[in-house]
A and B are shown apart, each in its own frame.
Chain A
């Protein structure tokens, strides 16, 4: 009897030891991420929350000022609502254009029979162009006076917009740049389209369904999770839009980049302001860290809301990788 309890005890302690070993092992494998998360994310995020309630210029110590920065941002800060309106515009128009165009090109590439590889590569390449280089190229291409695009429009007898120098055309110009780099969506849609079961098309064809009906009733329902994925990731990208609008504004305004020169972003007439840009401008050029932290937290909240939506989609991003 004694030996029985002893054995049970020993078994239990062996089990505990094993569990501890497994836990330690997991901890060891997860360590880089855990440290990174704590040091480079959780702690700074809490600091951001703290600074958002202070008056802080980075030199003198932060002074608590309650909700002052928050009310300032929402009621008086001249950059805030233009940036929010631009973001809304980009979320609606730019994301819609990218998704529709990406799906269109994805469909097209599945129908191409000759030279598929060449076409796919050509469609994909702009996605790889470094954002600063791509933006510089587009500011040049859409240069109202001498750019090739307006030269071509002139040749065709069409009106020639001012693009990046005209507040009404700067966001359409950014949209063209974004649509040009649609190669990532093309690849994702192409893979999804090739996964639609062939039998469904054959059955529909036997029933006499036309091309549009087959697209509407078979293709779309089959790829709808991917469309949702493209829309939500597109919205998150639009909220994070930084390099392209900043560089386009700077270059179109003729500002010399690099050290020294201050630049009031949003040229022309705040039409290219976005939230991340005003976080940078408010913090690192106006040295108003408190207000910048409020803006950062608004950005945080918006991104998290859409990420939550993304994670709730059927099958979820973390559902697993079973094909």
Chain B
């Protein structure tokens, strides 16, 4: 490298990294301000100060002890946890059939899966609500949200199918020649190889249920004992509507599990995002 080349390389390095740091500030500063405010006193949170004078860690204890907060945690864990298990278990066989079988109507089924994936829940919510609330009297619980997850979820089916397509058919053929039934082939051969895909689908499902606001609003809004964190958080703000410090502390507590989970499962998650867009 000539000195001139080296100089451009160094300049480029500096330019790229300055830009990256500027972008990083844009992405990180909101978290920082939220966190700093969560540690202010009630009075200071209403001023223009950016940094707390005294760091009030008790704000977190106060939020934690708010009536209902623990119930919302339990409900969220039930909804997101059980919902994820049901989604994954019911989506796997469907994704497997769509990826590895040949049958009439396969293309149409796939088109319908994609169409459903793109549809907002509001489209069918009125008959669905009447069905669950009036006919089955399950309003005020999370069951109208959890039960349908036992019947496959379009996005999970799509993502899993994309992943299963990358597993070569030869493995399956070998299993079939050895006298494996389809179910055994799926359980013994395909599932162990599809672990990263299943992990990605489980994570996506968990995150979207954890974040769901519309569902709990429809079915659980009349009964605070059935609220989830996403739904309760906003009412929390209402209950303390000038206490930005406590509201921000609650916000941090709702964001934290998602971010911690991400650090443990970063690879699976990023792989899943890529799978939705690139390997179409």
| Chain A contact residues, CB within 8 Å of chain B | 22-23, 25-26, 28-33, 35-37, 39-41, 43-45, 47-48, 51, 58, 105, 108-109, 111-115, 119, 121-126, 128-133, 136-138, 140-141, 143, 146, 148, 151, 154, 180, 184, 187-188, 191-192, 195, 225-226, 229-230, 233, 236, 239-240, 242-243, 246-247, 250-251, 254-259, 261, 275-276, 279-280, 283-284, 289, 292-293, 296-297, 299-300, 303-304, 306-307, 310-311, 315-323
Contacts and interface: CB of A to CB of B under 8 A. Distances in A.
Contacts of A296: 122-126
Nearest to A300: B123
Among B97, B151, B210, max chain A CB count under 10 A is at: B151
27 contacts: A23-B103, A26-B97, A48-B124, A48-B126, A58-B134, A108-B19, A112-B16, A112-B20, A115-B20, A123-B27, A128-B258, A128-B262, A129-B255, A130-B230, A131-B211, A132-B211, A132-B254, A154-B48, A180-B26, A191-B277, A236-B118, A239-B120, A280-B122, A280-B217, A283-B126, A284-B218, A321-B166
A265 B88 CA distance: 35
A292 B235 contact: no
Given A29-B93, A151-B50, A191-B277, A128 B259 contact: yes
Given A256-B235, A303-B118, A45 B123 contact: yes
Contacts of A151: 48, 50
B111 interface: yes
Given A29-B182, A280-B125, 19 more contacts: A32-B151, A39-B148, A40-B151, A111-B12, A130-B233, A130-B258, A131-B211, A136-B247, A137-B34, A187-B273, A226-B277, A251-B237, A259-B222, A280-B122, A299-B123, A303-B118, A306-B118, A321-B166, A321-B279
Contacts of A115: 20
Main SS of chain A's interface residues?
helix
Interface of B: 12-13, 16-17, 19-20, 23-24, 26-31, 33-34, 37, 46-48, 50, 90-91, 93-94, 96-98, 101, 103, 107, 109-116, 118-120, 122-131, 134, 148, 150-152, 157-158, 162-163, 165-166, 182, 207, 210-211, 213-214, 217-218, 221-224, 227, 229-239, 241, 244, 247-248, 251, 254-255, 258-259, 262, 266, 270, 273-274, 276-280
A33 B118 contact: no
A133 B254 contact: yes
A297 to B, nearest CB: 8
B50 A32 contact: no
Contacts of A108: 16, 19-20, 23
